Amino acid sequence: MQGQATERYVAEVLTLQGTMAGEDVAKAIAPALSAQLAAAAAAYASLQLEAEPSGFFAVVAREKA
């Protein structure tokens, strides 16, 4: 299901962007992308994420040598 949605999304984006690719490229890259997105979703699911990405620099400042 996610693979089909991603494939459709790829095709739409590529059409909108006016690049050549279209469905052939979408079919080629969608499975790999679906797997990546699914893995990322699983990885982030259990995390308490901050509202904004700026927390990274606060940790850098705290952890610096």
Partner 1 sequence: MAGELATLSLVEVAARIRSRDASCAAVLDAVLERAAEVQPKLNAFLRIDETLAREQARLADAELAQGRVRGPLHGVPMAHKDMYYRQGVPSSCGSKIKGREPEKTTATALKRLDAAGAIQFGVLNMAEFAYGPTGHNWHFGHVRNPWNPAHITGGSSSGSAAAVAARATFAALGSDTGASVRLPAALCGVTGLKVTYGRISRAGAMPLSFSMDTIGPLARTAADCALLLGVLAGPDPADPTAAHEAVPDYVTGLNRPVNGLRIGVALNYFTEDVEPGVGAALTESLKAIESLGCEIVPVTLPDMTAMDIAGTHIIGAEAAAYHGEWMRTRAQDYSAQVRARLERGLTIPATKYLDALRYRGPALEAFARAVFAKVDVLHAPCLPIPTPTLAETDVGSSPHMDRTLALLTKFMRPFNYLGLPSLAVPCGFLASGLPVGMQLVGRPFAEDLILRLGHAFQRATDWHKRVPQP
Phi-psi region of 22 (alpha: psi -120 to 50; beta: other; left: phi over 0): left
Q: Which residues contact 38 (CB under 8 A, 6 or more apart)?
A: 2
Matching residue, tokens 């969608």: 30
Q: How far is the CB of 37 from partner 1 (least distance, A)?
A: 6
Site for partner 1 in 4-63 (CB under 8 A): 6, 9-10, 13-14, 17-21, 25, 28-30, 32-33, 36-37, 39-41, 43-44, 47-60, 63
Matching residue, tokens 């890259």: 29
> In the complex, which residues of this chain contact partner 1 (CB under 8 A)?
6, 9-10, 13-14, 17-21, 25, 28-30, 32-33, 36-37, 39-41, 43-44, 47-60, 63-65
